[in-house]
Structure 1
Amino acid sequence: MLLTNAGVYVAMALATHSGIESFAASDLRAWGGNYGPAVAAGQWWRLLSSAFLHGGFMHLANNLAILGLLGWMLEKPVGTVRFALVYLLAGIGGSLVGLYWHPDTVSVGASGAIFGLMGAALVLALRKALPDDLGGVLVTLVAVMGGFNLVLGFLMPGVDNAAHLGGIFVGAAVGLLFSPGLIHRVAYYKGTNPDE
């Protein structure tokens, strides 16, 4: 996911000769930003493509830093396929909520998907579906990073907090679906029976 987000950004910066500070809304729309009228016209793919676009370098850097940290801690214990599914489904869920909240705004960014990873991490940690030492760290990380970014989203104009909230709820729901299998996996490595 890191390389995909970075690669799309570089390709867009080269094609538009901009992006160090920010991209124009017209460029973001042309490259697949989430935009109500276009989605209503049948361009449903924007619900996902927008999760790989970023409005500028600082937007990208912030999201990649958080995504890299979450990926480093979460991808190995849950598996690459589950990690990618949470990202993709939460990205779509965040886009849908953002679209409902402000259909006439071009919205981009991986943060809906990243909040989905936070939601999944929180549920998996609380349900003991992750190793004990990792679960506590992830709960703290999600509380600090997620809380900070949500508060920042309410204070700063142009931040799509609707996508953040949509992403975290979808991620939590997917984490809940994944948790039974992961609980058994953790129990297997600990040599215990979770059904006892």
Structure 2
Amino acid sequence: MDKRTRFKQMPVTLLLIAANLLVYLLTVMAGMDLWWGNGERLLHWGGNYWQLTVGHSQYWRLFTSMFLHAGWWHLLTNMLGLFIAGVFLEPVIRPFRFILAYLITGLISDYASIWFHRNMVGVGASGAIFGIYGVFMALLTTRLFPAAARHNFLGYISLFILLNLLMAGFSQDIDNAAHLTGFLSGMLMGYAFYFTLNKADGLRLPHR
């Protein structure tokens, strides 16, 4: 499969990446530091914060915070994770299920984030991205894909989770509540999606 064909099969992934890049550039142009986020400015742009999101019923922040990032490294790592997941999963579950999983797991994980961290401003797409990996993990434990593909990708996603757990051990800035909630809610959605997919869908999993 050539790159052009593969990109055509992941329109939602590319659109989400473009949206996140655009919002990041807008925040930088408005004065946000290129390297590090500023909590007050992120809050102004729609960051997630318990006292505002829940206390003042500004629940739209659960959505807007998914497109905000605290610096270029935060953005880069999230978009790389999203791109890799999208390359493999979006052709299988198709754009509608992909965006549905992304948004629902993102909203759930963002709520979990401020529930556990009520005095912090939460931003980033990582909860939704972990949700996508959760969908992928769930489907890999079913018979949707050929056995060889299941084993290969289960190893890859397990490595992804292990690396993130190791990173969490060395950094206090990683939002484990959002990551874990996103991943688990993604797995639940993945099992629900399984009953709407068939063997032909499983064969669309790119192997290289």
TM-score when normalising by structure 2: 0.84
2:41 corresponds to which residue?
27
Structure 1 segment 11-50 matched on structure 2, within 5 A: 11-16=26-31, 18-40=32-54, 41-50=56-65
Instruction: Give me the whole-angstrom Cα distance separating, in 1, the residues matched to 2:150 and 2:68.
Output: 30
Aligned positions of 1:3-152 closer than 5 A: 3-16=18-31, 18-40=32-54, 41-152=56-167
Cα displacement (A) at 1:186: 4.1
Q: Identity rate of aligned residues, in percent?
A: 31
User: Unmatched 5+ residue regions in structure 1?
Assistant: 191-196
| Change in CA separation of 1:104 and 1:120 when aligned onto 2, cut-off 3 Å | same
Alpha carbons of structure 1 residues 133 and 6: separation in structure 2 relative to 1, 3 Å: farther
CA contact (8 A) 1:131 1:186 kept: no
Matches within 5 A, 1:165-180: 165-180=180-195
Query: Closer, same or farther in 2 for the Cα pair 1:119/1:99, shift >3 Å?
Result: same
Match of 1:193 in 2: none
Cα gap change, 1:83/1:131 in structure 2, threshold over 3 Å: closer, same or farther?
A: farther
Report how far residue 8 of structure 1 moved.
Answer: 1.0
Aligned length: 188
Aligned-partner Cα distance in 2 for 1:145–1:98: 21
The residue type paired with residue 45 of structure 2 is W
User: Scaled by the length of structure 1, what TM-score is found?
Assistant: 0.89
The Cα of 1:15 is off from its aligned counterpart by: 1.3
Closer, same or farther: CA 48–130 of 1 in aligned 2, 3 Å: farther
Does the 8 Å CA contact 2:145/2:199 hold for their aligned counterparts?
Answer: no
Relative distance call for 1:77 and 1:104 in structure 2 (3 A) is: same
Greater Cα shift, 115-124 or 96-105: 96-105
Partner of 2:178: 163
Alpha-carbon separation, structure 2, partners of 1:38 and 1:129: 42
Match of 1:182 among 186, 191, 197: 197
Are the equivalent residues in 2 in contact too, given 1:21–1:56 (CA < 8 A)? yes
Q: Which residue identity does 2:26 align to in structure 1? A: A
CA distance in 2, matches of 1:115, 1:179: 18
